[in-house]
Structure 1
Amino acid sequence: MNDLLVAGAGPAGLATAIHAARAGLQVTVVERRPGPIDKACGEGLMPHTLQHLDALGIVPHGKPFRGITYLDRTRRVEARFPGGAGRGVRRTVLSAALHDAAATAGVRIVKGDIGEIAQYATSVRCGGFEARYLAAADGLHSPIRRQLGLDRPTNGGRRWGIRRHFQIAPWADTVEVYWAAHAEAYVTPVSDDCVGVAILTSRQGKFDDHLPEFPSLAARLDGAQGGPARAAGPLRQSAVSQHRGRVMLVGDAAGYVDALTGEGLGIALGSAELVAKAVLAEDPADYTRQWRRMSRRYRLLTSALLMASNSPARAMIVPAATTLPRVFNQAVKLLAQ
């Protein structure tokens, strides 16, 4: 019998499996899709996210970025990371690196579906598998979270994300965030000849429908070859608890605020390590406590910025950052740690 069954071979699931396998646990990952797996995301790995990957011995190829720049039609303000750089990494590149590390750690990855979950005093059974514990890393709209009755209704407006890659040399060594009335565009350098552009918006529509909201960005991208668009949303998801019985929610399945601050992968990788520790201690309830403690700062910062962006104060975000650069620098510093 497995010590840990992991549902999902995204970054959260594979990192969970690697931590558990290196701790001496027998681990199987169940995934329907062949790897490497792509998804709609900004692809900018913040410095604290890279620290989690370094701890796993994973150094994915990408393009460094040195900070965050906010722009609207007339203003620009930049904040540099006080320590190391972040890195723009294609999601498929990150997925491949994690698959290689999982194989090296002895993780078994099989194609399958989890299906209905049955919990017993000392085990979990699902999809023809049995394990002492189950880690649900099945994404933003986690079927396992819903099946276990852990979905919590979210308040406020809904937001969606759309990402495309453009074959053009990066023109900045920061992640640029362009602010418009109802959307933001995040430009992340991911290689010497490619940038990823992710648009977050409260209004559904195609990528090309939203790009004209950012005239200066649209002008830069004019003539550049663009790849296919990938979309995700609604983004905000919440759970009443990060565990139920012998099942623990990992990554986006555990709850997600927004992509505004790039906190998602850092929390996902941090939670992966916490799951392995909870299995070793046989204390899934402590996982929920530790997850909330680990993610608290990022969730609060992202929620505060999201609240401002959904209010009349949205129009003042870039002007305020320009007028109060020390405050903006401090916020970026907190997000980088």
Structure 2
Amino acid sequence: MDLLVAGGGPAGLATALHAARAGLETTVLERRAGTVDKACGEGLMPGAVAALAALGVHPPGRDLRGIRYVAGARRADAAFRAGPGRGVRRTVLHTALCEAALAAGVAIEQHTVRRVAQDGDGVVVDGIRAGHLVAADGLHSPVRHALGLHRPCRTRPRHGLRRHYALAPWGDRVEVHWARDAEAYVTPVAGGLVGVAVLTTVRRPYDEHLAAFPGLRERLAGARPAGPVRGAGPLRQTAGARTAGRVLLVGDAAGYVDALTGEGVALALAQAPAAVRAIIAGDPGAYEREWHRLTRRYRRLTRALLGTAGVPWTRAALVPAAQRLPWLFSAAVDALARPVGESA
């Protein structure tokens, strides 16, 4: 076999799809059966929508026209100049990518990766031999840890919580509501469904976090929760390198700063073809260099926003500043909307 992919989320399935279309015999190993769900904001940036379309994948959802920041009575709006993004239920995205991968000849097996070994000619994963392994097994990537590539983070950990509500969307933007200790991200994902994700450093129940957003809580009053609260974190994850011999890390497994900018899926969709190109060229090190280029803008912008949001007085000034300087807010949103790796 040419390629094994550990992890059947968007990063793994996109990698497998690119590999199969490049002529590589590819198998995806995913520990969870059926459709995979995950706690995420579910808002695809315009660059992610374009990357999926290039793969022939068009998951149904709700068009997103921009981003709105909200803090009490203050709000700031900026439209996407690169075309619409899309609010897509994570399970819908997974199904669309699975169908495309299977149609391309990818084998998908339920399997928990336990042991990885490699030599000069290939890798062996639990007795299965392949030319290369792509680890796309998420934030807490067991493969990253097993290969000694994980690096501890010394920043205060942030976590995410998400719940859906059976409620007609009230707008065509991702709304980011700001409070002292958390942000709430509201994403329309279907005609009668919105997702509300909370990112915070404070550990408390989901409903207690919503109490910090009275305007949002009023919007949600009487709406029926459409599913359980799902959590993820710590969000910040660091890898010492993205490659180790014939193993390449893709998506969250390769390192992650924060979900603040909503670029997670877009980053994974950009890294997937880069990893496949490096494998075909026989130069995994090329992927390491390309990963740094592809993620540079995301890492810089997200760290800058986190630094600003981490100081109480600058955090409180974020939305007023965006309101007073709409051109600056629009420029930042435009940067987020561009395809990953494109120069600003």
Q: Could you tell me which residue of structure 2 aligns to residue 274 of structure 1?
A: 274
Aligned to 1:99: 98
Identify the residue that residue 183 of structure 2 maps to in structure 1.
184
Residue identity matched to 1:23: A
Per the alignment, residue 233 of structure 1 pairs with: 233
Deviations, residues 93-139 of structure 1 (Å, cap 9, x unaligned): 00000000001000011111221111101110012211110000100
Corresponding residue number in structure 1 for 2:262? 262
Ranges in structure 2 where 5+ consecutive residues have no aligned partner: 339-344
Alignment RMSD, CA only? 0.8
Residue 342 (structure 2) aligns with: none
Contact in 2 for aligned 1:112/1:127 (Cα 8 Å): no
User: Which residue of structure 1 lines up, in the alignment, with residue 209 of structure 2?
Assistant: 210
Matches within 5 A, 1:46-65: 46-65=45-64
Q: Distance in 1 between matches of 2:284 and 2:34?
A: 29
Q: Which residue of 2 aligns with 1:289?
A: 289
| Corresponding residue number in structure 1 for 2:248 | 248
One-letter amino acid matched to 1:130: R
Matching residue of 1:138: 137
Q: Distance in 2 between matches of 1:322 and 1:50?
A: 28
Is the Cα contact below 8 Å between 1:175 and 1:189 reproduced in 2?
yes
Contact 2:149 2:241 in 1 (8 A): yes
| Aligned-residue offset at 1:74 | 2.4
Which one-letter code corresponds to 1:46 in the other structure? M
Confirm or deny: 8 A CA contact 2:31 2:113 kept in the other structure: no
- Displacement after TM superposition at 1:7 (Å): 0.2
* TM-score, scaled to structure 1: 0.98
Amino acid paired to 1:336: A
Q: Which runs of 5+ in 1 are unaligned?
A: none
SS at match of 2:2: strand
2:320 aligned residue:
319
Alignment of 1:127-166 (within 5 A): 127-166=126-165
- 1:204-223: per-residue Cα shift (whole Å, max 9, x none)? 12211100000000011011
Aligned mates of 2:109, 2:6 — CA distance in 1: 10
Which residue matches 1:69? 68
Identity %: 57
- With 91-100 and 105-114 compared, the bigger mean Cα shift is at 105-114
1:307 paired to 2:307: yes
| Count of residues in correspondence between the two structures | 336
Find the residue that maps to 2:330 and give its secondary structure: helix
Give the SS at the match of 2:211.
helix
Please give the alpha-carbon distance, in whole angstroms, between the structure 1 residues aligned to 2:110 and 2:168.
38
Is the partner of 2:112 in helix, strand or coil?
coil
CA distance in structure 2 between the partners assigned to 1:77 and 1:179 by the alignment: 12
How far residue 161 of structure 1 moved from its aligned partner, in angstroms, is: 0.2
Normalising by the residue count of structure 2, what TM-score does the alignment of the two structures yield? Answer: 0.96
